[in-house]
Amino acid sequence: MKKIKSITCIVESGMAHKVVESALGAGAQGATIFFGVGTGVRQKAGSAGKRIKPDKDIITIVTYEETVDKIFDAMVEAGKIKEPAKGFAFIQDVDRAIGFWDD
């Protein structure tokens, strides 16, 4: 079986659909979007923290190892995550999975 990875991307509320569209264009088979509220960074940033909105869109994508970098890069670009206070993204190994659609 091919190695599987999971991408988690946290972006400002309202950005998920743009990020997912980019990920699908880069080869993702699908995505799950859910909503959250961030805390901690805003409080530690003092007055600069006021520009960080607490509402977040959280995107999870499971994909094969050979496509993970292309999808991740597309998500980072679409979500403007390299800009300060725009989001956070990371990749994790998936040791076991069931229900992952294999074309």
Decide if 92 is inside a domain: no
pLDDT at position 42 over 60: no
pTM above 0.75, yes or no: yes
Encoded tokens for 26: 């880069």
Angle at 34 between CA 30 and CA 35, to 5 degrees: 150
Decide if 98 is inside a domain: no
| Mean pLDDT to the nearest integer, 51-61 | 86
- Beta-bridge mates of residue 64: 4
Give dist(CA 51, CA 2) in Å, integer.
42
Domain that holds residue 66: 4-87
| CATH number, position 17 | 3.30.70.120
Decide if 32 is inside a domain: yes
Decide if 100 is inside a domain: no
Predicted confidence (pLDDT) per residue in 12-31, tens digit: 999 999 999 999 999 999 99
Decide if 94 is inside a domain: no
Give dist(CA 37, CA 7) in Å, integer.
19
Decide if 97 is inside a domain: no
Q: Residue 68, Cβ neighbours under 10 Å: how many?
A: 21
Specify the number of domains making up the chain: 1
